[in-house]
Chain A
């Protein structure tokens, strides 16, 4: 009974959601082994070995793993799977791409995107974009589970000293090839992990007006989000979209400006710790989920909001 957790990394650094996944894995079983598949990824293996919840790190190091290709990762995982009761990874684009391929080859019905571990075979997961929660029990011999990173706190990253063992590479795939990755570079925190998110909707009326959002976001060191309506209207690019069809965010503070609160948007942000809504329509559905609602014209309220923030001596970063 051990858990095999698949690490996400770029051969130099561990991607942060891996630590959330480690937390979830150790709630299932204490014997957590982390698999690092990479090329020159010793540093990654080393930093994971320092996580106290981790009992063993398996480092599979080969130039064929320079870039993440699900077909390649799957072959390595299948070879190791016999020793494990659970195979776990995070339910972001990394894990969503990988785990079903593993599960199908093991003839396992995967449980996706869990938000709670109830027991070693029973989990809670959102369905219908979080409009309902299902409690499900796996009857498969090996359980393939992906975890929603924002539902689990990251595991501590120091104090441990797990054994690092080298593992064997599998045959390289010839059917899929990595070409390139264009990372969106920004000085801002990433939307998915930011502590504060300021989002604008159709009420912004134009892309130009998003500078009001930007100014507040700069002040709060926040990521900038948007509703699908604002994206569809062309005010802002689609990588900012929060909602069922965009990103699901769970910041400490979510500020929704000129967003009415369509079901599809609420699905992406209603788990935020504190929600602020600024909207001139007092009947807008966004107010039903907001902790603090301000019924006001955003073009008056946003400059004033910035002015008030400027008056504060300190602002949490």
Chain B
């Protein structure tokens, strides 16, 4: 079995976002970047399946600018065997990413494709499902448990009401939730080893995929600020305020 894992380079989740003064987007220059958190879970799961002897190869792929190579390299440092970077400039929508990934899937012929359930920058939550649609593969989204069976996967999904279990035929797409596993840290020897692992670079143009934006971003704004509240001196005052001023209890 071969597993392809898609990883995205995003602004680190601990960074306080700043909106650009001209409202054209958010500030990304000199901002710490990391792997999209649930993508770390996706890599971890793929590596665990390989360690359990159920997969032969784990390939990490990222679609992004040159620097996304760091994200692929990090995946290699925690156990992926080789990497692919599909280079694109600027912002690219999930539909275009899924078309690119479809080309990679056709070339690599993996049995499974894993990725995070959502990227924490655009918060779209689309790419996995779109890729599944384009390939006509089943999709198991929000996975918090994956069991590899003979020719199927049994996946537990985190849904609003609780947990849902589905069985999907292989090949399949799985989007990973944060509670799927505990991603490991890369050890120094493995970081060194990862430097020798191959990363193939392809440009989106060579794949013949149209990456033009369909959605026009008109402006990006700061969220409305909450007006400053007050400090109350005692529990009694708090209850009075909630009862008589805010009228919520």
Using an 8 Å CB-CB cutoff, how does the interface string of A100-115 with B read, 1 for contact, 0 for none? 1111110111111100
Complex interface residues of chain A between 174 and 218 (CB less than 8 A to chain B): 174-184, 192, 196
Q: Could you say which of B67-75, B125-133, B187-195 contacts chain A? A: B125-133
* Cβ–Cβ contact A109 & B215, under 8 A: yes
* Cβ–Cβ contact B246 & A292, under 8 A: yes
* CB-based nearest B residue for A231: B179
- The CB with the most chain B CB atoms within 10 A, among A98, A136, A196, is that of A136
CB distance from A267 to the nearest CB of B (A): 10
* Cβ–Cβ contact B216 & A128, under 8 A: no
* Cβ–Cβ contact B220 & A244, under 8 A: no
- Give A296 to B122 CA distance when docked, in angstroms: 38
- Give A133 to B217 CA distance when docked, in angstroms: 11
**B246 / chain A contacts, CB cutoff of 8 Å:** 253, 274, 291-292
- Give A97 to B95 CA distance when docked, in angstroms: 15
* Cβ–Cβ contact B138 & A71, under 8 A: yes
Q: Within 8 Å of chain A (Cβ to Cβ): is B231?
A: yes
- Give A135 to B217 CA distance when docked, in angstroms: 6
Using an 8 Å CB-CB cutoff, how does the interface string of A221-256 with B read, 1 for contact, 0 for none? 000000000000000001100001100000011000
**B228 / chain A contacts, CB cutoff of 8 Å:** 288
- Give A101 to B217 CA distance when docked, in angstroms: 23
- Give A282 to B235 CA distance when docked, in angstroms: 15
- Give A106 to B2 CA distance when docked, in angstroms: 29
Please tell me the number of chain B residues within 8 Å of chain A, measured between CB atoms: 79
Q: Could you say which of A37-45, A57-65, A80-88, A300-308 contacts chain B? A: A300-308
Q: Could you say which of B9-17, B57-65, B198-206 contacts chain A? A: B9-17
- Give A246 to B157 CA distance when docked, in angstroms: 14
Q: Within 8 Å of chain B (Cβ to Cβ): is A1?
A: no
Partner of B214, one of A97, A130, A140: A140
Q: Within 8 Å of chain A (Cβ to Cβ): is B207?
A: no
- Give A296 to B234 CA distance when docked, in angstroms: 8
Q: Within 8 Å of chain B (Cβ to Cβ): is A172?
A: no
* Cβ–Cβ contact B220 & A133, under 8 A: yes
* Cβ–Cβ contact B130 & A126, under 8 A: no
Please tell me the number of chain A residues within 8 Å of chain B, measured between CB atoms: 88
Q: Within 8 Å of chain A (Cβ to Cβ): is B239?
A: yes
* CB-based nearest A residue for B170: A175
* CB-based nearest A residue for B131: A104
* Cβ–Cβ contact B123 & A104, under 8 A: no
* CB-based nearest A residue for B178: A245
CB distance from B166 to the nearest CB of A (A): 6
- Give A129 to B164 CA distance when docked, in angstroms: 25
Q: Within 8 Å of chain B (Cβ to Cβ): is A295?
A: yes
* Cβ–Cβ contact A293 & B166, under 8 A: no
**B167 / chain A contacts, CB cutoff of 8 Å:** 176-177, 179
Q: Within 8 Å of chain A (Cβ to Cβ): is B35?
A: no
**A180 / chain B contacts, CB cutoff of 8 Å:** 164-165
Q: Could you say which of A22-30, A150-158, A309-317 contacts chain B? A: A309-317
**A308 / chain B contacts, CB cutoff of 8 Å:** 235-236, 238-239
- Give A244 to B166 CA distance when docked, in angstroms: 26
**A287 / chain B contacts, CB cutoff of 8 Å:** 229, 231
* CB-based nearest A residue for B164: A181
Q: Within 8 Å of chain B (Cβ to Cβ): is A2?
A: no
Q: Known: A133-B223, A245-B37, A273-B248. Is A179-B154 also a contact (CB below 8 A)?
A: yes
Q: Within 8 Å of chain A (Cβ to Cβ): is B162?
A: yes
**B142 / chain A contacts, CB cutoff of 8 Å:** 93, 97
**B157 / chain A contacts, CB cutoff of 8 Å:** 93
Q: Can you name 20 A-B residue pairings with CB atoms under 8 Å? A: A100-B130, A109-B93, A109-B213, A125-B123, A128-B17, A128-B123, A132-B220, A133-B221, A137-B216, A139-B215, A177-B166, A179-B166, A180-B164, A181-B159, A270-B223, A273-B248, A291-B226, A292-B231, A301-B235, A305-B238
A residues near B, CB below 8 A? 69-71, 74, 92-94, 96-105, 107-113, 122, 125-140, 173-184, 192, 196, 220, 238-239, 244-245, 252-253, 263-264, 270, 273-276, 282, 287-296, 301, 304-305, 308-309, 312, 315-316
Q: Please list the 5 inter-chain residue pairs (A to B) with the smallest Cβ-Cβ separation, ordered nearest first.
A: A100-B129, A109-B214, A104-B130, A104-B133, A291-B229
